[in-house]
Structure 1
Amino acid sequence: MPIRSSCTSILIGKNASADGSVMIGRNEDSKAAWPKHLVVRPAQAKAQTFTSKATAFSLTLPANALQYTATPEWTDEFGVFEEAGINSAGVAMSATESAYANARVLAYDPFVAQGILEEAMVTVVLPYITSAKAGVQRLGKLVAAYGAGEANGVLFADHDEAWYMEIATGHHWVAARIPDDQYAVVANQLAIQTVDFASPDFMFSAGLRDFAQKHDLWQPQTPFDFRRIFGTDSEFDRIYNTPRVFDGQRRLTPSRPAEPTASDLPFTLRPDLPLHVEDAFAVLGSHYQETNYDPTDPNATEGHRFRPISLARTQEAHVLQLRPQLPYPIADIHWLALGVAAESQFVPFFAGATAFPDDYRRGGLPAGLDSAYWQYKLAGVLIDAHFKRFSRDLDAVQQQTHAKLLASIAQADQASAGLSASDLAALATTASAANADIARSAWQAFTMQLLQTSTDLSPLNFNTDANL
């Protein structure tokens, strides 16, 4: 199991969204058949010790850890890889967006073999922070103390703001606050551009400017362009990375002309229209639809020229939505699509739940249909065999199910008024289970429909007398 993954991320500021939500989301891309679970980690009063199974990285964690949601691997053999969650202080974290630094900066500040990696970050940060900014600060201190073993982008959000943090080398990093009226789409590149060292909208590692100046990477009279100084700009980027940023931006800001191979796509943009959670789903499920680059379109002459956002090795996709003016257990929603985002359903789980359904907490190798992950993967494999044939049916079940899920959320919101903390937790738990039931029922019926229809799409069919 590789310890690095190739993901696509989205961050949305509160004034860029239609309802004032702050949202962060990501596709976790690693292996096509590698199950994920959804769990609630309970609050812990006592200090714990964390030791990585991927490296010798180890540290003592603070006492009084907060409750949080998480999406760990089915096995911890290679590390926990909790990847994304929301804690009981209303802070969301998604880690990580794998990135690449250039050879020159790594020559002067190489990665640390026993430094912190993606597999540990959510576990050692999310339970101990009460704001997005505090998340950047805690992770920055860990990088300073232990070093980083790889380049990564990390997403943080609270009810007021979203931050994107990029760890480029063994000890150097930058974090930028996403402007409230803007969004960012990031795809396996260092993306942050000009850093204003005097602005509260940026945080950075100690000695960053001195490091860049000492090694002739930057002259003080010029803008400090973190992407240019620390990142890459190669043919690989223009095939694998920048086209995905283009694909996200063309969806959310279609008024801005751009090319998929452009090296100067902006880190953040204003959307043409206020964004809903469905817009984040559309980005994470995108594969260049309605362009000549769509690999599912048999008429697309360049269907495999660029790496799409949604692809077969997505383990799970999530959008962490922090909604305003609601009590915590109901306000924050961990939307989860198991398997390939384009072929799955984003199901809403309330972050204040005390437990999630059994089928979301099980599933491994070999495959078993008592697992939500494998149920959605089964539907995806059946769709893959005849994608164009089933695309309209797929869209119909996704849209119809989503409408039912939105209605279920509205019912929970209404029922939450005036409830005590314990009753809110109970409501979040039962409402999350109800949402899983809605999606499960719809997709099991859809899967059986796919199976039935597929029986007559075999290459072994032969036109003959119907009576023979």
Structure 2
Amino acid sequence: MNTIPYLSACTSILVGKRASLDGSIIIGRNEDAKSAWPKHLAVHPRQDQSTNLTFVSKDNGFTMPLPSIRYQYEATPEWTDKYGLFEEDGFNEYGVAMSATESTYANSTVLGFDPLVSNGIGEEAMVTVVLPYVKTAREGVRRLGHIVEKYGTSESNGILFADNDEAWYMETGSGHHWVAIRIPDDCYAVIANQMIIENIDFDNPDDFMWSTGIQDFVATNHLNPAMDGQFNFRNIFGTHSQSDTYYNTPRVWYGQKMFNPDIEQDPQSQSMPMLRTPAQKISIDDAKAFLSSHFQETVYDPIGTGSEADKHKFRPISLAKTQESHLLQLRPNLPKAIGNIHWLAMGVAAQSTYVPFFSGFTKVPAEYQVGAANYDPKSAYWIFKLVGVLLDPHYLELNDAVEAAQEELAISYRQIILAVDQKAAALSSSEQVDLANAASLKAANLAMDTYRQLAAKLIAQSTDFSPLNYQQDLNL
């Protein structure tokens, strides 16, 4: 079992294609665990083995056979596999996107009847044993669901899937039971470490999926408190603790405040809905802004003007313990190699930049393949993290320079994407891969060069903030 605490406390977003500005399906998440725990970027090539393989977790010993054919997929693994892989997010060659996981918590009553399984599947293994073996988002839900039912799960989690047609959100609620919901095309969802799926319609398998026997399990053990007989997964399997009101629900409140500003809600409410239709269509930049947010323009902003009590009352969305933040954007009217974009921000999203990697890419920049627990100037994670470390002590004085660099990069990324889109249709499959590699490398190099220069600028500006300073009359 894991010998160090790996407290994943993420924030997620899913956006349906009619709720987005350009018809994209968008899923994404902040991977939050430790403030100095580097991530890498990897592309695993397609493999066709003569015999089936076996997966064995270094985290908890979870073991299962794998198919002989593994599809190409990308991922963001930890810098070390000592405690497990934690591959977390990416696309496969069939254009399936997966992000795993949003850590959630099941109540003790449910777990008393179906405990978590210590050597069952956990977060660290999910992407590795699911994403390379499915061709649609629905297949992803079914495969992971089958694994949970057969082997059990060691944790309660939320898992995001998408393809060019639909987005799904899945939750594991006990050792062997789970449900999943298709995100309606005109809706979005923001999720923050709570079970959030509400009423399950067992007569609608097009929009819901569930574990075998879950209705009998709940009925036999008298777990459903609903007077009207509805099967509300959140109420049956989830928690409603005081920690939820400070740690979790305020993040959902802020996301819904961003996308539905006219709706009045209490940030500590336990009854906010999972799904909403946004007041205006959500762009990829809006999704980035959500995952980069920290209660701006409210009294709860840790670097705002509220009281000290208010500034530290709630856990922000973007925070120091973010290892990486990602958005997986599926643009259905373009070839998958070009149309699907893996936006990856290493380190704290509010201080970093979302670099676009076109999902057909096969060549990972060298800087994204290195980086360990101590600072390494050749590591992409540490290149972006350094700017955050320099910014933190003097946020108000230095943040303008960081925001200016982020804005310039966002404009440049848009120009790179437009140039790729204009060329893509006339290219063969192999030429699309070459274009994806060239454009992804261009964006990554631009981002790293900009942040290296930004770090140098912040170091120079920081020299005058020393406490061993004195304002003297230069005429003396």
Please give the TM-score of this superposition, normalised by the length of structure 2: 0.96
SS at match of 1:435: helix
Distance 1:431 1:201 in 2: 36
Match status 1:32 vs 2:35: yes
Aligned to 2:359: 351
How far apart are the structure 2 equivalents of 1:464 and 1:4? 49
The residue aligned with 1:336 is 344
User: Which of 59, 65, 68 is the aligned partner of 1:60?
Assistant: 65
2: CA distance, partners of 1:442 / 1:300: 35
SS at structure 1 position matched to 2:70:
coil
In the TM superposition, 1:74-223 aligns within 5 A as 74-199=79-204, 200-218=206-224, 221-223=228-230
Give 1:296 shift.
1.0
| CA-CA distance at 1:391 after TM superposition | 2.3
State the shift of 1:148 in Å. Answer: 0.4
Asked whether the equivalents of residues 386 and 455 of structure 2 are also in contact (C-alpha less than 8 Å), the reply is yes
Q: Give a deviation string over 1:115-166, Cα, whole Å, max 9, x none.
A: 0000000000000111111100000000011000010000000011100000
How far, CA to CA, are the matches of 1:70 and 1:305 in structure 2?
34
SS in 2 for 1:155: strand
User: Structure 1 regions of 5+ residues with no counterpart?
Assistant: none
Read off the aligned partner of 1:251 and give its amino acid letter: M
The one-letter amino acid of 1:230's match is: F
For structure 1, which segment, 453-462 or 109-118, has the greater mean C-alpha deviation from structure 2 after superposition?
453-462
Secondary structure of the structure 1 residue equivalent to 2:125: helix
Q: Is the 8 A contact 2:8 2:31 kept in 1?
A: yes
Contact 1:297 1:388 in 2 (8 A): no
Give the corresponding residue for 1:295: 302
Structure 2 letter corresponding to 1:261: Q
Percent identity, aligned pairs only, is: 52
C-alpha separation between the residues in 2 aligned to 1:290 and 1:220?
40
Q: Does 1:241 align with 2:248?
A: yes
Question: C-alpha deviations, 1:82-131, integer Å up to 9, x for none?
Answer: 00010110100000000001010000000001100000000000001111
Distance 2:418 2:37 in 1: 33
User: Can you list the C-alpha shifts for 1:185-232, whole angstroms capped at 9, x where unaligned?
Assistant: 000000001111111211011111111111111269511111011101
**1:281-292 → structure 2 map (5 Å cutoff):** 281-292=288-299
2:26 match: 23
Which has the larger displacement, 7-16 or 419-428?
A: 419-428
Q: Distance in 1 between matches of 2:238 and 2:409?
A: 41
Is the contact made by 2:348 and 2:388 (CA closer than 8 Å) also made in structure 1? yes
1:71 aligns with 2:79: no
AA matched with 2:42: V
4+ aligned runs moved over 3 Å, structure 1: 298-301
Q: Give the one of 248, 266, 271 matched to 1:264.
A: 271
Distance 1:211 1:385, change over 3 A: same
State the AA in 2 paired with 1:330: I
Match of 1:411, SS? helix
Say which of 325, 329, 343 aligns to 2:333: 325
Q: TM-score normalised to the size of structure 1?
A: 0.98
Maintained 8 Å contact 1:4/1:118? no
SS at match of 2:464: coil
- Indicate conservation of the 8 Å contact 2:299/2:305, yes or no: no
CA distance in 2, matches of 1:119, 1:299: 38
Offset from partner CA, 1:244-286 (integer Å, 9 cap, x none): 1011111111121111101101101111111110111111011
Counterpart selection for 1:456 from 438, 460, 464: 464
Q: Which residue of 2 aligns with 1:434?
A: 442
Whole-Å separation in 2 of the counterparts to 1:452 and 1:83: 36
Find the aligned partners of 2:247 and 2:228 in 1 and give their Cα distance. Answer: 33
Is residue 277 of structure 2 the alignment partner of residue 274 of structure 1?
no
Match of 1:253 in 2: 260
Instruction: Assess, with a 3 A threshold, how the Cα gap between structure 1 residues 140 and 106 changes in structure 2: closer, same or farther.
Output: same
* SS of residue matched to 2:311: coil
Shift of 1:396: 1.5
Q: How far does the alpha carbon of each residue in 1:290-316 deviate from its partner, in whole angstroms, 9 at most, with x for none?
A: 000000125444000000001100000
User: Is 1:227 aligned to residue 227 of structure 2?
Assistant: no
Tell whether the 8 Å contact from 1:7 to 1:27 is kept in structure 2 after alignment: yes
**Range 311-320 or range 205-214, more displaced:** 205-214
From the superposition, tell whether residues 4 and 124 of structure 1 become closer, same or farther in structure 2 (CA, over 3 Å): farther
Check conservation: 1:310, 1:340, Cα contact below 8 A.
yes
Describe the SS at the equivalent of 1:69.
strand
C-alpha distance in 2 between matches for 1:322 and 1:168: 28
Aligned residue for 2:243, secondary structure, equals: helix
Whole-Å separation in 2 of the counterparts to 1:159 and 1:79: 30
* Worse-superposed segment, 421-430 or 104-113: 421-430
| 1:362 Cα deviation from its structure 2 partner | 0.7
SS of match in other structure, 1:382: helix
Q: Give the aligned residue type for 2:293.
A: S
Q: Which residue identity lines up with residue 263 of structure 1 in the other structure?
A: Q
Match of residue 465 from structure 1: 473
- The alpha carbon displacement at 1:466 in A equals 2.8
> Which amino acid counterpart does residue 362 of structure 2 have in structure 1?
T
Contact 1:344 1:376 in 2 (8 A): yes
Q: Distance in 2 between matches of 1:48 and 1:11?
A: 33
In 1, distance between residues paired with 2:74 and 2:8?
21
Query: Which residue is equivalent to 1:313?
Result: 321
Secondary structure of the corresponding residue to residue 47 of structure 2: coil
Distance across 1 between alignment mates of 2:189 and 2:287? 11
Deviations 1:229-248 (A, max 9, x none): 11011110000000010111
CA distance in 1, matches of 2:53, 2:371: 27
What residue ranges of structure 2 are gaps of 5+ in the alignment? none
**Paired residues, number:** 468
Work out the CA distance in 2 between the residues paired with 1:419 and 1:273.
Answer: 35
